[in-house]
Amino acid sequence: MRIAITGASGNAGTALLRNLQGQLARKPGSLQLVGISRRLPNTSQDPYGGVQWHTLDVGLEQDRPQLEEALAGVDAVVHLAWQIQPNRNLALLHRTNVTGTRNVLEAAARMGVKQVVCASSVGAYCKADKDQRRDESWPATGMAGSHYSRHKAEQEKLLDEFAAAEPGITVARLRPGLIFQGRAGSEIGRYFLGHAFPRLVPRKPWVPLLPVPDNLIFQAVHADDVAEAYWRVVDQRASGAFNIAAEPVLTPRELARILGAKRILPIPMRLLHAVVDLTWRARIQPTDSGWVEMAAGAPIMDTSRAQRILGWEPKVSSIDAVKELLAGMGTGKGIDPSPVLRPRQTIPGLRRRP
């Protein structure tokens, strides 16, 4: 089987390559891997070796011929390419996220790809209360105040239209919660906190008092567990949507345990929204307030369909995934061969306290 992965050098893409290299080790010659990314990783190091690489931008019109060439002879394409920064340039993000998805779908149809598997997100769903779990039938129409959510909803619509127009192509999508791994600590810290703040995160985070909205309730999953879900979808030629998340659901109480906080100080979500918006507008940190709106409104997902159809079960708890991420963020951990996941650079003469 020949599998192409867009965004193959990123967080989920690197985890998927690790998984597929493991499948190859068990069954040599069973897979051929094609990696597509804007920046070429170091192909002499795992898991990027043994992959046929194509360096291109899926959102650029001039790169469409290269994209089609990359998908020639491919059985399945896993579309992971996505941008969340710079979020002050929404036209650029839309080009990669929405136009890029359209380009991949059109190229897949033109080149006779048999299956398309796309990375959607819990962020694609419309707002829901946190008091019950929602399955894949909950509307994936997004939340207006979040550009990420709007783009995911547009992507979902493209997938629906593509599936209707191309009945001979199997179309699947994964809707994971937040995807964490220690080796993405540098990237996630850089994208959401900027270059300065992650350096202040201790290797073993501890806060005596946790100020947090009482309705900040969300789900997370380890990147390796997401990768296993992608592999199962491809291997089983599964179709449709799959919610992907680990247990337990993360609540303020769980976060307090993770951070060693003795007390929780409930604050209004609107206050957190205002603080994030103000600091973003002042360019103190790179996360816009749409992420707060999405966190407040995103549903708690029911993952039973993935368990029932794919036989998928996460091996890492959401708590351990968060702990691993925080440790990676505190140390600036990354993956040297990947330009996206590169470790945090140290400042000459500056030493951190252990």
- For residue 347, is it within any domain? no
Q: Is the pLDDT of residue 306 over 50?
A: yes
One domain, residues 290 and 274: yes
**What is the average pLDDT across 339-344?**
84
Give a yes or no: residue 345 inside a domain. Answer: no
Q: 133 in a domain, yes or no?
A: yes
Q: Residues 58, 83: one domain?
A: yes
The CATH number linked to 122 is 3.40.50.720
Rounded Cα distance, 47 and 12, in Å: 12
Claim to verify: residue 21 and residue 161 sit in the same structural domain: yes
Examine the domain organization and report whether 88 and 29 are in the same domain. Answer: yes
30 and 136 part of one domain: yes
| pLDDT, tens only, 184-213 | 888 888 888 877 666 666 667 778 899 999
Q: pLDDT digit string (tens) for 62-106?
A: 999 999 999 999 999 999 999 999 999 999 999 999 999 999 999
Q: Quick one: 50 and 12 in the same domain?
A: yes
The answer to whether residue 340 is domain-embedded is no
160 domain-assigned? yes
Let me know if residue 137 belongs to a domain: yes
Mean pLDDT of the chain: 93
**Are 143 and 213 in the same domain?**
no
- Single out the residue of 279, 323, 270, 315 nearest to residue 297, CA to CA: 270
Q: Which domain holds residue 89?
A: 2-177+222-244
pLDDT > 70? residue 162:
yes
Our CA dihedral for 291, 293, 204, 83, rounded to 10 degrees, sits at: -10
Supply the pLDDT for residue 198.
Answer: 64
Q: What are the pLDDT digits (tens) for 73-84?
A: 999 999 999 999
The β-bridge partners of 133 are 300
pLDDT at position 348 = 42
Domain count, the chain: 2
* Residue the block writes with tokens 């925080």: 326
**Ramachandran quadrant class, 112 (left: phi over 0; alpha: psi -120 to 50; beta: rest):** left
What DSSP line would sit under 266-283, residue for residue?
A: E--HHHHHHHHHHHHHTT
Q: What is the dihedral sign for C-alpha 307, 311, 316, 322?
A: negative
- pLDDT the model gives residue 340: 84
- Phi first, then psi, for residue 168 (nearest 5°) are -80, -5
Q: What is the pLDDT of residue 264?
A: 95
- 10 Å CB burial of residue 206 (0-12, 13-18, 19+) is exposed
pLDDT band at 350 (very low <50, low <70, confident <90, very high): very low
75 and 193 inside one domain: no
pTM for the model: 0.94
**Is pLDDT at 354 greater than 80 in this prediction?**
no
Q: Is residue 170 part of a domain?
A: yes
Question: Is the pLDDT confidence value at 353 over 60?
Answer: no
User: Does an H or E element contain 135, and which?
Assistant: none
What value does the CA radius of gyration of the chain take, rounded to a whole number of Å? 20
Residues 129, 101 share a domain:
yes
Is residue 264 domain-shared with residue 291, that is, in the same domain?
yes
List the beta strands (DSSP E) in the chain.
Answer: 2-6, 32-37, 52-55, 76-79, 115-119, 133-134, 170-176, 178-180, 209-212, 220-222, 240-244, 263-266, 300-301
Whether residue 54 is found in the same domain as residue 11: yes
